[in-house]
Amino acid sequence: MDYAREFLNELYFITTEMAPYLLLGFFFAGVLYLLFPKKKVRQYMGRNRTGAVVNASILGIPLPLCSCGVIPTGLSFYRNGASRGSTVSFLISTPQTGIDSILVTYSMLGLPFALIRPFIALFTGISGGLLTNRLTKREKEKEISVTDNNNTLPSGFFPKIKAMFRYAFVEFLQDIMGWLIIGLLIAALIAVFVPDDFFAGRTGNDILEMFIILIAAVPVYICATASVPIAAVLMLKGLSPGAALVLLMAGPATNAATITMIGKVMGRKSLLAYLVSIISGALVFGFLINTFMPERWFALPQHMMIRNHEMLPGWLSTGSAVILVLLIINGYMKRFFGNTKDKTTDSSPVSGTNIITMKVSGMTCNHCKSSVENATSSVEGVESAVADLAKGSLAISGKDIDIEKIRSNIRAAGYETN
């Protein structure tokens, strides 16, 4: 009973500390959604090699895309003319940061960490893009046109504001809410069951500690925002700031699914540049923090060390946590209990207007949903395409539809279908 009570207390504390900054981050995510639609971003990721790499990394840093969302987005850019180098740069820098995770980092880890995360993301993104260009300079770029008809913003001020809030507090929240919950639960469990001095003097070697964290972080997916409370709690248990940085970099930017997809679509050399840049960047900057930077810069904020020291008024933190929980509940209700239409299943070309349903595996977020719908809608004869995340299905309506072309497009987008 004591453990359960302590776990709930820790979960409440971590959630209330994150919630105000997370909601503010969601709002800015919606603003960025209006300012930087996919078509505008793609304009800066073309074939001007070095400039495109730098642009891609700069554009990727504030965008609120986690690893599962950045893959279909980045590959969509690649198929529409972005070079391998700029695509890899975007894929490295984007999931490491985001306006929401930067604000949460400031709340839980302090200002130095909040400033250094985007800088490192920029550096590793540019390095990975330039390395990719060097390794693949003799390889021919692929060009596969995929429409963006699901990324068109409505016209008019109030419709755009409505779309902004829907993206920020429904679609984007749905993309990260599962991993956000997992991150909060893991952080609370660590706080309760891991001794306060667990890392202090246990390895006796900061580099070994960073390698241990790296081995655990690379294959496992956790988004940039959800990694922050885990890093904060581990630092409370004695983890070095450098090792915490390794978790914050490698955890969001890599996972088994991402590694497989980049290798499959962009080739082994691009994958090699991607992994080398992230892993070497995490270890080098972690070493620099532990060795050369003042330890006081990376001390946790007072409110994390002393629980009765509040960074924000209690009513604001608690109210924000309540709003966050309600938004998450709303997100799950919309995902699993939204209105669906009856669909019929077929697997061959049809004459006349028909509705066809097929299974699609690999969709994990709204960006995946959009990518599958766009890849399908670009096929001649398709009038509408609606993907269902909860069921892993795709409903297609149209006339004289070429099913094999649809399957080919969906596979090219990085997903599997029956």
pLDDT digits (tens, 9 = 90+) for 13-28: 888 888 888 888 788 8
Mean pLDDT of 228-252: 90
What pLDDT sits at residue 152?
A: 61
User: Which letter does DSSP use for residue 298 in this model?
Assistant: G
Given a contact cutoff of 8 angstroms between Cβ atoms, the answer to whether 370 and 151 are in contact is yes
What pLDDT sits at residue 383?
A: 85
Instruction: Please give the sequence-ordered ranges of beta strands (E in DSSP) within 256-392, or none if there are none.
Output: 353-361, 382-388
Count of CB atoms within 10 A of residue 349's CB?
14
Mean pLDDT of 275-285: 94
Mean pLDDT of 160-173: 87
pLDDT in tens, 379-389: 888 888 888 88
Helix 268-292 with 206-217: angle, nearest 10 deg: 150
pLDDT(4) > 60 = yes
What pLDDT sits at residue 245?
A: 94
**d(C-alpha 47, C-alpha 52), whole Å:** 7
Residue with the two structure tokens 């960006």: 367
Higher pLDDT, 344 or 397: 397
Instruction: Please give the sequence-ordered ranges of beta strands (E in DSSP) within 247-352, or none if there are none.
Output: none
Given a contact cutoff of 8 angstroms between Cβ atoms, the answer to whether 321 and 273 are in contact is no
Given a contact cutoff of 8 angstroms between Cβ atoms, the answer to whether 242 and 205 are in contact is no
Confidence of residue 341 (pLDDT cuts 50, 70, 90): very low
Mean pLDDT of 47-64: 82
Exposed, middle or buried by CB within 10 Å (0-12, 13-18, 19+), for 137? exposed
pLDDT(218) > 90 = no
Q: How many residues does the chain have?
A: 418
What pLDDT sits at residue 148?
A: 47
Residue with the two structure tokens 């990085």: 414
Binning the chain into helix, strand and coil, the percentages to the nearest 5 are: 65, 5, 25
Given a contact cutoff of 8 angstroms between Cβ atoms, the answer to whether 415 and 261 are in contact is no
Structure tokens at 226: 């959800």
**d(C-alpha 169, C-alpha 394), whole Å:** 24
What pLDDT sits at residue 149?
A: 43
Of the candidate ranges 51-60, 153-162, 198-207, the one whose mean pLDDT is the lowest: 198-207
- Which of 325-329, 344-348, 403-407: highest mean pLDDT? 325-329
Q: How far is CA 13 from CA 27, 111, 193, 298, 322, in A?
A: 22, 20, 16, 21, 13
What pLDDT sits at residue 348?
A: 46
Mean pLDDT of 167-176: 83
Mean pLDDT of 252-276: 83
What pLDDT sits at residue 80?
A: 65
Domains (ranges, CATH) in the chain? Answer: 2-327 (no CATH), 353-417 (3.30.70.100)
What pLDDT sits at residue 84?
A: 87
Mean pLDDT of 260-279: 86
What pLDDT sits at residue 399?
A: 82
pLDDT in tens, 323-338: 999 999 998 888 777 6
What pLDDT sits at residue 376?
A: 87
pTM of the model: 0.74
Mean pLDDT of 44-63: 80
What pLDDT sits at residue 384?
A: 86
Using left for φ > 0, alpha for ψ between -120 and 50, and beta otherwise, residue 382 falls in beta
Please state the φ and ψ torsions of residue 358, each to the nearest 5 degrees: -135, 155
Structure tokens at 54: 């730098």
pLDDT(346) > 60 = no
Percentage, residues of the chain above pLDDT 90: 20
User: How confident is the prediction for the chain on average, in pLDDT?
Assistant: 81
